[in-house]
Structure 1
Amino acid sequence: MATKKTAVEDFSKYIRWFWKLFIGGILFIVLIFLLASFGLFGEMPDHTVLENPKTNLATEIISSDDKTLGKFYLNDNRTPVDYSELPQNLVDALIATEDARFRDHSGIDARGTLRAIFKLGSGGGASTISQQLAKNLFHGEGSKNIIERVLQKAKEWIIAIRLERQYTKDEIIAMYLNIVDFNNNADGIRSAARIYFGKEPKDLDVKESAMIVGMLKNPSLYNPRPHRNPVGTRNRRNVVLSQMEKYDFITEEVRDSIQKLELELNYSPESHREGTATYFRAYLTDFMKKWIDENPKPDGSKYNLYNDGLKVYTTIDSRMQKYAEDAVEKHMPRLQAEFFNQNTPERNKTAPFLDLKPDEITSILNRGMRQSERWRIMKANGKSESEIIASFNKPTAMTVFSWKGEIDTIMKPMDSMRYYKSFLHTGMMSMDPQTGHVKAWVGGINMKHFQYDHVKQGKRQVGSTFKPFVYATAIDQLHLSPCDTFPNTKVTIEAGKFGNPEAWSPENSDFKYGGFKTLKNALANSTNTITARLMDQVGPQPVVDMAKKLGVESDIPAVPAIALGTPDLSVYEMVAAYATFANKGVYNEPVLVTRIEDKNGTVLYQFTPKTKDVLSEEVAYVTTNLMQGVTEDGSGARLRTKGADQWNVVYKEIITGYPYEFTNPIAGKTGTTQNNSDGWFMGMVPNLVTGVWVGADDRAAHFRNTAYGQGASMALPIWGLYMKSCYDDKTLDVSKADFERPQNLSIRVNCGAPIEGPTSDTEGGIIDELDF
């Protein structure tokens, strides 16, 4: 009996020890949770922090048609969305894969936790969506140290429970998807949907949602980016689809059919130098930094452009911006191909430069070398000039731009500079003249490789696009009519007149003289002698004053030669000036930002229109009527043609495939500089004014002849392609109407009828002069 009693006592002793250890363990765990909740193991978020968790939010740039053009961010390209903006299939995929009992628990899944404990994690993780959100919001990745990991897990559980008390289940789902990093600057579900599929989250279909959720396990391993891990990513997506079928979110048939499909990405990386309206966004960066400096927060601190989640509402129309970029991408490669063709070593030993001596070319390249990013970086790193110069003549692995895609090559940096000097560039801006709203902005051909903006930053000689300023001044001062005739003979403005240091006697581009021309025909064909006669009558200073009133801010010397377009002006200035003619003589300062809001929707900035009366409605209309002659019978008449242009056989290589066939009223002006280095076209319809410039960065790189180098060849096709797309888009309201005629028009514009006749006329005749 004693032996049996001893055995029982020993067994009961073990039982007591078990319960002591069990209860002690429970109390220890409770103590850990209590101490963690008190913040003993690190600061815990209080009610206020939980209500407003700190996350870095990118500033969003929004178009006038409510599309995201891009974002400003440093590390986090994150723009939150509400639960209502998430598709149900995405929510279903998330719950089925990450937390099947999400709708039933209060932050901690007891069954999942016990399963993880007893199976040592082999049966799957125990973290709920709420716990994962807690981890992402407040303490990031877990420590490898077991003790620290246990303490972090305790904090994670407590925060998860608090989150469940603070937010609804739907809000937790949205917060979680907004915080997740999907790699490749895809921070949060909105960026992920746009970058991997080129769409908004609400538009994701089942297979896309399954792929997105599949990435959550390991965004690097299961990344769908091309050439990464397509097989693994597809397999992981199919696991998610199986989970969705398991929990009855989709049928077995749907699962099987989708699992057979490829990933079907539309990979659209978002960076500051890629995507839509890159040059406009670069300009907007400076605009916003200046605004931030001048507009502090109520507490005196500054807004952070990259983290505060501002919303910048712009005037850019995403559709028109796309059409503008498409027009550039269609025309420029063809123009560039011809430029390369004319500058092969056999045809031009100094390519891409013309008419330069070797020492002049060396000077251009050396200047470019000292202005390069490579020079700046090496200089900042303490390298000597001799070391830097030597590096420019050492073959280096690099990626260079081409219109057929980037090329990985080995090239001397000096040779790459010469290669880049051979590229033609463009600047293009489109604006509503009635509001001043800028609708499209293309500052160059590729922001990644060419950062210089040719819309506002660049200024180039404007050629004959300056002539309407001379004509407008003459109409304003002398009450001239488009029907007035002038002799097409040489004219000389003597030295000393208007302060001119020497005599000035310009020639026509075709060197043809004789007879008379109406002002309308003279402007249509850019007859230099008649423009010079007008300058002789009004003087250069009134023309300068006119240009300044029209919004030109650049310096313009008050000399007669400006009549033919010698000043260097920007596309931005020219479009705003021309828009005044289309807007009945009222100048509107170009508007780019309509308002700025903080992340809560509070309006921080609202633009105020800046307008001024410059011309009478009559003078503006008559000047516009003169420019209509350019597209009816002048250097812009090819806008009316079908198929290839017939001016010369060589040019057909470029123009074929551009059948504009516009029949509506269009006012415009081409412009070309003396050595064919700059080509311009300014085109107007009643509610849209667009300017285009094309040329090489260095003026010594240009076409040999005017057939290619004129504005009608280099710049006009971009305008035509752009406008054709705008007219084809029925969601836009680009006018095809005539310019509105003033009620009390006293100046005759219809040269074949009395004043009360039609509001426009056609001069007829054949173009026999090219544009300078």
Structure 2
Amino acid sequence: MRVNKGNNKKTRSTNNNENKSNSNSTKKNILKVLKICLIIAIMGSFLGGGVAFGMVVASLHDVPEMDRDRLEVMAIPSTFYDANGNQFYETSRDVSRIHLSYEEIPQDLKNAFIAAEDQNFYNHPGFDITGLGRAALNHARGRPMAGGGSTITQQLTKQVVLRDSSTNLRRKIQELYLSLQAEKIYTKEELFEFYLNGAVHYRGNTQGVGAAANDIFGKTVDELTLGEMAIIAGAPNLPYRYTPVEGDKEGALQRRNHVLNRMYQSDFITKEERDEAMEEEIVLASSANDSSDYSGIKYPGFVTYIRDIEGVKVLQEIYDWDESHATNEMFNGGFKIYTTLDPEMQQKVENIMNNDNEYLPPHSGVHPQGSATMINHNTGELVALFPGRNHTVGDTVRPVQSYRQPGSAIKPILSYGYGFESGNLTQGTVLDDAPKAFSNYTPENVDRNFMGLMTSKEALSRSRNVPAVSAFLTNPGANVDFARSLGLDYPGDTNASYALGTQETTAMQLTQAYGAFANEGVLNETFAIKKIEDRNGRVIYEHTPQTKEVMSAQTAYLITDSLKDAITPGRGTAGSVRNIFTNEAAAKTGTTSVSDGWLVGYTPHYTLGVWMGWDRNEGDIGSANVVGTWARIMRDTHSDLPNTSFDKPSGLVSIPISTKSGKLPSELTPSNSVRSHWFVRGSEPTDECDAFVEVEICSDSGLLATDSCPPHHVKTKVMLKHRDYITTDSRWKRGREGRKPADVELMAPNDECDMHDSDAQPPSDLSYELHEDSIQISWSGRRRQEFNIYRSTSNGSDFVKLNTSPIGETHYVDSDVQKGVTYRYYVTRVRDDDRETRPSDIIEVELHDNVQPVQSIEVESINGGVRVSFQESHGASNFHIYRSTNPDSGFERIENAKARGNVGQTQTFTDQEIEPGNTYYYYIIAVSGNDEADPSPTRGVEIEANNDDDNDTPENGDNGNDEDDNMESNDT
């Protein structure tokens, strides 16, 4: 790093002359008039008297005063201050200067400049009449006035006093006027010294011939060869072409030879000296490619942004300078620039972004890069900026200068923002994440799956691509205009892929746009410079906030609420943020197929955009690293800030809706498809969900059940209503064919089951026998047929198959039963193809848990007695039969019949101790040990007195009489 050697001196004789001039104002005014007259005379010879007079008067109306400080001390470093008013940078660290006196500069070097720039320098009064004539003639012909013979004095006043490189006639007149003044105040030697030290510039930030000799050749000026002096004299004409560097010397050689020829023509050197100098090989200093020492500069990225980009832009706007001149003044103009830099925030950002552990490993020897942009969205202040790893002052400022594809980070802006603002979308609008071809464009999701129906809130938080494209294409022109209103310099076309971030933008633009969501719909344009003072302490610039409402506060909150889900585990693509940073926040990921990973998000305090990737797309990046880095920066920068919630504006209402229809939940809407969403009041749904239907499904086929389907296969289900969809095919290049939306599995089928033959005869004649601890089921069937037995309980449970494999019997003993439970059974026949027939009829059976009473009793008169018939009941070991001739009393036990153990089987007893003409009454009590059941119903029978012993006894108690048989049977 080179610094000034000594101070530029003020010439005593000059000061004395000035004092004399100031002491005689009359003389000064006379001289000024004379100068104006001289200029009018000069210009009039080319333009005509009247024209010249008007032009000169107009041009001198706003001519700057001669600034002797700038001439005598031309190079004053500019200083930068952080938001706390503390200086953190001075341009002298970046500018190579070595001040030399007139006497210290070799005569050959002076002569080289005289020959190249102004051969009459020591003789003219500040202008060259011949060169000025050429300039005026070019102007008259409508040509540029560059190359119009500016003298060294004119060049000096143009760069130092006018600080303008424009070449119009007005500036030429002002330049001429000030040159006359300068020639009056200073000697030729003083002017030449000023010029060679401060008005000649070289590639990079090298200023003056002393620094040029050192930086380009590694020498002092008195060590230079003639050829090297010619290079130094020729380069300022076009520094970036004529300053030699390794690999680019051709322009310098051509310019050197031109200067040497001019020196020869001016008799400064001999022909032999010229030819010898032209043969010299250009040997550069080893540091010629990078002559500046930037080590130890604090916040180099922020410095580069202010010094080389934002500061230069502001100076151009203030002074109407071109970029080159504004850049020079930034280094040498002595400005004090007060910035928005928050040193504490900046340091925390740099600590994390400079940590190699935050990045993927190198790919083919190339390291991935990263940038971070932190904005106070409440004011627009840029509080921290990280332009890239291993950044050296002057390198690319990626957040501002690198245009990258934002991927899905663009979705809140380009797909959903305007939709919410216009009312075309609500958080509850249902979109279909399903394969869809938009003309020839077939978007994929990063997981190569499609999730099906979802609300726009979920589609945004889960970053689903087809919904984003669909939402964008509802009104692509308006969506692009919305993006522009947020500061994105998007072109006018509306390519469908824009919705997925294929149109490039900068991190600064993207972060600023997110700040409007954080700031309730109000965009504060990002700025980094608060105020600028010139070298005399005058305020020449103060930032005026540029604020505009780009969306309603309600729209901003709907986006914010959706992006809060995006960093919620299980709901969004960046849930791992919550492993590190737990404050109220909203953010969105973005990835591309060309080496970009993004996370842009905000809290109520700050908006942060982090990008990681490969400058030349050398490898894949993903979003995993970015998510962690973003979270760590937010954690550290918010450690001393309150955990504030986002303000919810009025006019919003939160209601639970069906996520598959966007409507109010119905009795069929499953609970896992119900979530609360925010709506602008008046836009909330009023109809009930119609996305679900209740259907009976055969579990064998998964199709709609028919009467032929066995009950155990028939399930009543609530399913999504059927909708049309397509599957991926060869148009989808990045995933397998045949993929479909995941919720297709939840959709009701359209077709009926055909797996069960309605013509095949099912088993029939089901019956049962109750045993002590089991139930036997029997049915009719043929040999070599096989069957399945199904059972359920009366409480409505599903039927389950009892046998592990088809059985070849026509009965089945169910031992896995409990007393007091009612069971339901049916049987199916298994066909040769393993399909089942329609089911048999269903029977219900209960195995009681105590002695059950005899439910039915029949009595009938037979030849020689009374036959008592009854069905055995469960749990009985014996049956006590009672008889009486009086229905109300006098019953005696006449029989103790032993139970046979077949519950439900009919048992009979014949009472032969009877007398004709009497009526007998009977009941039965089932007993087991000491337990007795309630008596059976009483039954009575009348015995005829003239009973014919020879008559045949009809079967089943039928006496053959079609009337009453003269016998009654009574229940008592």
TM (norm. structure 1) is 0.48
Query: Considering only CA atoms, is the larger Rg found in Structure 1 or Structure 2?
Result: 2
Between Structure 1 and Structure 2, the one with more strand by share is 2
